[in-house]
Every structure is written in C-alpha cells, then in structure tokens.
Chains A and B, each alone.
Chain A
Amino acid sequence: MLQVIVQTAAAWVIPGFIFIVLVYAVVKKVDVFDAFVEGAQEGFATSVSLIPYLVAMLVSIGLLRASGALELLIKLLSPLLTRFNVPGEIIPLAIMRPLSGSGALGITAEILNAFGPDSFIGRLASTMQGSTDTTFFVLTVYFGSVGIRKTRHALTVGLLADLAAFIASIVICTLVFH
C-alpha cells in the first residue's frame, strides 16, 4: 500500500507541480514563456562558474580513492567501529557517503546486490544512503557558486550531521528491522 502511494507520488510530483504552477501563472496573466526564458538565462553561466570548484574537489577525492588511501582509512577505522557494534559491511559506505555521491551510490548498489536489498544490511545501507547528502559536494558547489572562501563552521556541522545520520540509521534500523 505504502509502496503504491510512494511510487505514484514520485511519478506525479514533478509533472503535477509544473502543471499547477503554469495554470496558476496563466490565470494570473503572466507571460509564461517570456518569464521562463528570462529566468532560464542564468542557468548556463551559473553552472559553468562551478567548473573550477568541482574540478578541484573531485580531483582530490578521485586521487584519494585511486591511490588506495580511502581503502586504507576504511581498514584502519574498521576494527575501532566494529567494537561499537557497527556492522563491518557498512563502514565503507559510511566513509564514502560525505565524500563522493557516485562512490557512495556504487557502494550501496554493491551491498544491495551482495546481501540482498531486503536483508538487514541492505535496509541499513538504504537508510544510510537516503538520510544524508554528499557534504563535500554540496559545500563545494553552493559556496563555490558565489565565491565564498571562508566557510566558517559549515564543514564541521555537515560532517557531524553525517555522523548523526549514520548513528541514527544504525539505531533506528536495529529497533525496526532486527
């Protein structure tokens, strides 16, 4: 039942939203085409201005992954985390999640294939993947787009929120699914 609702909602939300917005605008006598083009004008310039920031960030993360440094970090942290009852299979995901969106999604897909999406580990990985965003990517893109250099406490807060999501996922999944 929930599944039908969620899937239907996911399919309808964007078309429905756009339809309602356009009908409302036409009723309010807005020249929708002209307004659209006026707003859309900024899209290209804003996107392109992100290139230097994203190249810098994705290169450094790509190098960490390719050099094996991330794997090493996972190996070093694993014994420590398993002592706190963190399932060992989930640790690579927890470390990758704030760094690389595509990397984390790849790990989640691997976990779902290896353990099955309906296993405890599969459900835990899904919850973890969905409950936090790629902190480094978000900060790089958002601050980069306006040229902010001093990001104050944003990175600390972002990473601590990831940690909170990580702990909460384990606790909640253990309570609900175990």
Chain B
Amino acid sequence: MINLIWFAMIAIAFVTAALTGSIETFTDALFSSAEQAVSVVFSMVSIMTFWLGMMKIIEKSGFIEWIVKLLRPLSRLLFPRLPRNHPAMHAILMNMSANLLGMGNAATPFGLKAMQELQSINEDPQTASDEMCTFLAINTSALTLIPTTVVALRAASGSLYPTEIVGTTILATLCATTTAIILDKLIRGLTRRKRKRR
C-alpha cells in the first residue's frame, strides 16, 4: 500500500512537472524537502530528549498512577485488551493527556514511546496491531482542548477574539475523533481477516 502511494506521488509529480514545463523545479524541491525532513528530525531531538526524561520521572515516582486512574474509563473503552499498568498504556495516556492539555510538543515523544511499547507486544512486527491502529486513529484526528497554535496565529494576525474558535474547534475535533474511533472499530475486523487469509 505505502509503496504504491509513494510511487504514485512521485510519478504524478514527475508527469505534472514534465507536462507543465517546470521540470527544473523538480530537483530543487527534491533536495530542499530532504533537507527539511532532516531539520525537522533535528528539531525533534531536543524535544524528544527532554520529554522522555520527564516520562521516566513520571513513571518512577508513581505519578503515572494518577493519570492512569483519571483516564481509566477512556482507556478501558479504547484499549480493552491492554493491561492498565503496561508501559504502553502509560505512554498512551501520557500522549493523550499532552494532547488534551495542548502540550503539542510533548505529545509526539510520548506517542513514539507508546509505539515502541506496543511494538514489543506485537505478534507480527511488520504489521500494525489493533491497538496501534486505534492509537493512531486518535492521534491523526488531533484530540485537543486548547488549539494553542491556531490561537497564537490568530493573535499574531491581529484578531480581536483569538480564542473565539476554541469552542468550534473542540466540537469539530470531537466529531473527527469519534468518527476515527468508530471507523477503526468497524474496519479493523476486515483488515485482520484479510491479513490471515494471506
């Protein structure tokens, strides 16, 4: 799937560039995007290092227990098969808390930690597990209570009411997250069976 998408994206770009006579931009865009990718990663190093350090303190001190208790109804609903004191559950709940609190840059480190822990109990390391798919359904739909980036952007562009979109954003996000979770539960059976047949 991903191989096909990746090929199609580059092939479409090539054909479009060739037909519209903008082939000279192709090479420039290629290397500037590659450079951008590496600089994104390096800007992540500092954030990852800091928040993974905090994560260890949160786990060792038992602070995580409070978060687990607080979000138990949610975690039981979303990840019924994951033991509530598994490190994967800890990282998932930290990721969700960071998202909800609008701590955007903390969410990714906790999220990647969660993926590593989920991978350690994954039966087939090449294929996404059910829990991974559910977790990503939540993350791609941007569950949040405070859309900090947008509020800051609105304030910067001279809005009189930068926060007036908070309510509409929370409602729209809830729609997206609910859709994602329901679809995930509905479709997962299909992709699981397909996988077994192979």
Contacts and interface: CB of A to CB of B under 8 A. Distances in A.
Interface of A: 2-3, 6-7, 9-10, 13-14, 17-18, 21-22, 24-25, 28, 30, 32, 35-44, 46-48, 50-51, 54-69, 72, 105, 108-109, 112-113, 116-118, 122-123, 126-133, 135, 138-139, 141-143, 145-158, 160-162, 164-165, 167-169, 172-173, 176-177
B168 A43 contact: no
A153 B184 contact: yes
Contact of A130 (B20, B63, B147): B147
A141 B43 CA distance: 14
Given A62-B33, A145-B112, 14 more contacts: A2-B163, A51-B37, A58-B40, A63-B9, A108-B153, A117-B158, A128-B172, A132-B141, A142-B115, A149-B2, A150-B127, A154-B128, A156-B187, A164-B179
> Which interface class (under 10, 10 to 19, 20 to 34, 35 or more) fits B?
35 or more
Interface in B104-130: 106, 108-109, 111-113, 115-116, 118-119, 125-128
A135 to B, nearest CB: 4
Contacts of A60: 6, 9-10, 13
A62 B30 contact: yes
A39 B55 contact: yes
Contacts, number: 363
A40 to B, nearest CB: 3
A90 B161 CA distance: 20
B78 interface: no
B141 A40 contact: no
B61 A131 contact: no
Contacts of A167: 175
A28 B162 contact: no
Nearest to B36: A58
Given A108-B153, A145-B116, A139 B140 contact: yes
Contacts of A130: 142, 144, 147, 149-150, 165, 169, 172-173
A161 B140 contact: yes
Contacts of B34: 55, 58-59
Contact of A44 (B45, B137, B153, B195): B45
Given A28-B61, A30-B57, A63 B168 contact: no
Contacts of B44: 47, 50
Contacts of A172: 168, 171-172, 175
A36 B51 CA distance: 9
Interface of B: 1-2, 5-6, 9-10, 12-14, 16-17, 20, 22, 25-26, 28-30, 32-34, 36-38, 40-42, 44-45, 48-58, 60-63, 101-103, 106, 108-109, 111-113, 115-116, 118-119, 125-128, 132-133, 135-137, 139-142, 144, 146-151, 153-154, 157-169, 171-173, 175-177, 179-180, 183-184, 187-188, 190-192, 195
